[in-house]
Chain A
Amino acid sequence: MTHRPGRRIFRRAALAAAAILSTIGMSQAQTVLLNVSYDPTRELYRDINKAFNDKLVADRKKPIAVRNSHGGSGAQARAVIDGLDADVVTLALSADIDAIAQRSQRIPANWQSRLPNKSTPFSSTIVFLVRAGNPKAIRDWDDLARPGVQVVTPNPKTSGGARWNYLAAWGFGLKKFGGDEAKVREFVGAIYKNAPTLDTGARGSTVSFAQRGVGDVLIAWENEAYLADLEFGKGKFDIVTPSISIRAETPVSIVDANVDRKGTRELAEAYLRFLWSDQAQAIAARHYYRPARPEAAAKGDLARFATLELLSIDDDFGGWAKAQATHFGDKAIFDQIYSPSR
C-alpha cells in the first residue's frame, strides 16, 4: 500500500500554504508607497514606477512597491482628506492639493515652493481633437462657438481637466475681446451651449467623442488627445492646436502627516525628486507630457509638441484660489452660463 492520496494532498496543501505565507512575508518586508493620482496618468506612472525601482536596484537598494490610485482629481483629493493613506499626491491642479493642505492640514500650506518649477515636474496643455480631415474646419477657439459645431468637454464642476479647458477658452476670449468681460462670458457661454453632453471626467469625454461618435470636436489634454489617437485608431482623428492655450500644471507633493506616521518620508521624497531625473523626464515626454527639463527628453518626442502661446494660471488668472471662486464656485460664472437668463 504505497499509494496514499490523502497524505499527498495534505503535503501539497502544506506546500501551498508555505508558499502563500512566504509571499505575504516578502510583501511585508517590502516598503509600499501609495501614489494618489488623477485619471489619465495610469500609463505614465506605470513606466515611471518601474524606472524608479530600476534605479533603486542600480543603487544597491531594496526595490519598493509603488501602488497607484487613479480617479477624478477632486475625488482623489477628497479621499486623501477623508483619510486615504497617500504617501504622495500627483494631481491635475494645485487647487486640489491646496484643498488637502487647508482641510486636513496633512500638507503644509507652502507645499508648492518645496520642489522646483512650482512642484510641477511636467505639464500639459489643452488642444482640440477633430474628426479626420477636419470636416467642420475647426482652427481656433472661435470655431467652437460657431452655431452648428458640437463640442465635447467634461463638466468643470466635476473634472479638474475640464477647468483647464474652460480657462483656456476664457483666456482666448480675453485676448480677442480686449478684456471686455461681458463679451467673454457670452463667447464661453456659446461654446458650452454647443456641448451635447458634459461627462463627469476627462476620460468619459474622450470615450464619448472617440468611441461613441458624439460631437465634432473634443477639447482635451494634449497627452489625452495623442493617446486617443493611438488607442482608438490612427487616422480617425486630427489634432488641432489653437493659437492660445493654457499651461496645465499638474503638481506633486508628499503628504507630510502620512509619511511621518508611516516612516516613509525619505523614500517618498526620493520618489518625487526622481520625477525631475533625466529618465523620468524622458518618460514623461514619451507619454506626451511637456517636461520641465526638456533637455533631458528625446528630441523626437519634443518635436511632436506644437509651439503656441501658453497662458499661466498664476499670471493670467491670479492663481487657482481666485479662478476657482470667480468661475467654478456655486452660482459663479460657469453656473450662470446655464441659468435661463431673462
Chain B
Amino acid sequence: MAFSFRRKSAIPGFGLALGYTIAYLGLIVLLPLAALVLRAAEVGPGGLYALVTDPRVLGALRTSFGLALLAAATNAVFGMIVAWVLVRYRFPGRGLVDAAVDLPFALPTAVAGIALAALYAPNGWIGSLFEPYGIRIAFTPLGIYIALVFIGLPFIVRTVQPVIAECDREIEEASATLGANRWQTVFRVILPPLTPALLTGFALAFARGVGEYGSIIFIAGNIPYISEIAPLLIVIKLEEYDYAGATAIATVMLVVAFAILLAINLVQAWSRRRLGHA
C-alpha cells in the first residue's frame, strides 16, 4: 500500500486550499515576523546578549510574562465558572450578562485602561476602599494584574462555553448514580473534556496579556524594575530612535511567548491522548 500524503476526502481542492493557506499565513504572519527578526538582527549577537542580560529588560520581561500567566490562570478558574453559569442556568438577564462578557474585546484598550485607573486610583471608587489599609492598586503591579484579568476574561469564557454546551447532563447523572461524590464528578467527569478548550483559552488570554500595552500603561505606574512592562521598554527604545533595540526586545518576547505557547499545546495534546477526548 502506497503512503499517501493525505487522506481521501469527499471534497476536492486539497492543493488549492493548502496553497492558499500557506500563501495567506506567509503574507499575513510570517512576512512581518521575518521583517522583525531581520531588523532585530542588526544589534548582533553581542548586542542581543547584552540586552537579554540587562537587569532592567529582565525585570520588565518578568513583569510582563509573570503577570500575564497569573492573570490567565485566574481567568481559567473564574472564567470557567462564568461560562458554566451562563450555559447551565437560566436566569433573568442572562443574555445581558452573556453580552457583557465580550465588552473587554470591544472596548478600545486605552479606554479600558483609563476606566480601570479611575476606579482603582487612591481616590477612585474601589481604590479608596483599600487606601486606608495602605494597599495601593493603581500604579503598582497589582494594577497591571487587574487590567490583564479584565482583558483576558472573554478568551476563556468564549472558548469553554461551547464545549460545556456540548456536554451531556446525562453523564453527570450517570456518574452520580454510579456512586461518585460531587467532587469526583467535577474533577473526573466534567473537567477532563473541558481541559483542551480551557488550555486554548488560557493560551489566548496569556498571549494577549503579554503584548498588552494600551490598557496597562495608564494603571501601571511604569517605574523601572517595579511596574515597567516589556512593551513600554519597546516604546522607550523607539522614542530613542533605536529601532533595532526595540525589535530585539520584541524578538525576545516573541521567542519566549512561542516557547510557552508550544508548551501549552504539548500539554493539550498530552491531555487529549491521556483522557481520550477529542
**Closest Cβ neighbor of A200 among chain B residues:** B217
Number of cross-chain contacts by CB at 8 Å: 70
Partner of A74, one of B117, B139, B217, B239: B239
Give Cα A338 to B54, complex, Å: 13
Measured between C-beta atoms, what is the minimum distance from A69 to chain B in Å? 17
Residues from chain B with Cβ under 8 Å of A222 in the complex: none
Measured between C-beta atoms, what is the minimum distance from B273 to chain A in Å? 46
Give Cα A338 to B218, complex, Å: 20
Chain B count of residues within 8 A CB distance of the other chain: 29
Residues from chain B with Cβ under 8 Å of A329 in the complex: 240
B232 within 8 A of A: yes
Stretch of A35-43, A170-178, A206-214 with 4 or more beta carbons under 8 angstroms from chain B: A206-214
Residues from chain B with Cβ under 8 Å of A155 in the complex: 222, 236
Stretch of A51-59, A191-199, A229-237 with 4 or more beta carbons under 8 angstroms from chain B: A191-199
**Closest Cβ neighbor of B224 among chain A residues:** A338
**Closest Cβ neighbor of A102 among chain B residues:** B241
Given known A-B contacts A157-B236, A204-B218, A212-B138, A338 and B241 have beta carbons under 8 A apart? no
Give Cα A188 to B236, complex, Å: 20
Residues from chain A with Cβ under 8 Å of B242 in the complex: 330
Provide the B139-157 mask, 1 if CB < 8 A to any CB of A, else 0: 1000000000000000000
Residues from chain B with Cβ under 8 Å of A200 in the complex: 217, 222, 232, 235
Asked whether A330 lies within 8 Å of B245 as measured between CB atoms, the reply is: yes
Stretch of B1-9, B12-20, B98-106, B120-128 with 4 or more beta carbons under 8 angstroms from chain A: B120-128
Give Cα A78 to B217, complex, Å: 20
Asked whether B223 lies within 8 Å of A338 as measured between CB atoms, the reply is: yes
Given known A-B contacts A200-B217, A204-B218, A157 and B239 have beta carbons under 8 A apart? yes
A279 within 8 A of B: no
**Closest Cβ neighbor of B221 among chain A residues:** A197
Provide the B207-244 mask, 1 if CB < 8 A to any CB of A, else 0: 00000000001101111110000001001111111100
Majority secondary structure of chain A interface residues (helix, strand, loop or mixed): loop
**Closest Cβ neighbor of A77 among chain B residues:** B241
Residues from chain A with Cβ under 8 Å of B117 in the complex: 208, 212
Give Cα A196 to B239, complex, Å: 22
Given known A-B contacts A103-B241, A199-B222, A330-B245, A211 and B118 have beta carbons under 8 A apart? yes
Measured between C-beta atoms, what is the minimum distance from B261 to chain A in Å? 28
Asked whether A212 lies within 8 Å of B224 as measured between CB atoms, the reply is: no
Measured between C-beta atoms, what is the minimum distance from B37 to chain A in Å? 20
A239 within 8 A of B: no
Asked whether A214 lies within 8 Å of B217 as measured between CB atoms, the reply is: no
B55 within 8 A of A: yes
A339 within 8 A of B: yes
B56 within 8 A of A: yes
**Closest Cβ neighbor of A211 among chain B residues:** B118
Asked whether A338 lies within 8 Å of B225 as measured between CB atoms, the reply is: yes
Measured between C-beta atoms, what is the minimum distance from B129 to chain A in Å? 14
Given known A-B contacts A157-B239, A158-B235, A330-B240, A195 and B217 have beta carbons under 8 A apart? no
Give Cα A211 to B218, complex, Å: 13
Residues from chain B with Cβ under 8 Å of A300 in the complex: none
Asked whether B124 lies within 8 Å of A197 as measured between CB atoms, the reply is: no
A267 within 8 A of B: no
Most chain B beta-carbon neighbours within 10 Å: one of A158, A204, A212, A340: A212
Residues from chain B with Cβ under 8 Å of A330 in the complex: 237, 240, 242, 245
A311 within 8 A of B: no
Residues from chain A with Cβ under 8 Å of B123 in the complex: 212-213
Asked whether A196 lies within 8 Å of B121 as measured between CB atoms, the reply is: no
Give Cα A78 to B234, complex, Å: 14
Residues from chain B with Cβ under 8 Å of A75 in the complex: 239
Partner of B225, one of A78, A328, A340: A340
**Closest Cβ neighbor of B245 among chain A residues:** A330
Partner of B222, one of A197, A213, A339: A197
Given known A-B contacts A158-B239, A200-B217, A339 and B55 have beta carbons under 8 A apart? yes
**Closest Cβ neighbor of B136 among chain A residues:** A196
A190 within 8 A of B: no
Residues from chain A with Cβ under 8 Å of B235 in the complex: 158, 200
Most chain A beta-carbon neighbours within 10 Å: one of B136, B222, B245: B222
Interface of B toward A, CB cutoff 8 Å: 55-56, 117-118, 121-124, 136, 138-139, 217-218, 220-225, 232, 235-242, 245
Leading 7 A-B pairs by shortest Cβ distance: A213-B123, A212-B121, A338-B224, A197-B139, A197-B221, A157-B236, A198-B222
> 7 extra interchain contacts, Cβ-Cβ under 8 A, other than A158-B236, A197-B222, A198-B222?
A157-B236, A158-B235, A198-B223, A199-B218, A200-B232, A212-B124, A329-B240
19 contacts between A and B (CB under 8 A): A78-B238, A103-B241, A157-B239, A157-B240, A158-B236, A197-B220, A198-B223, A200-B217, A208-B121, A211-B118, A212-B124, A214-B138, A328-B240, A330-B237, A338-B223, A338-B224, A339-B55, A339-B56, A340-B225
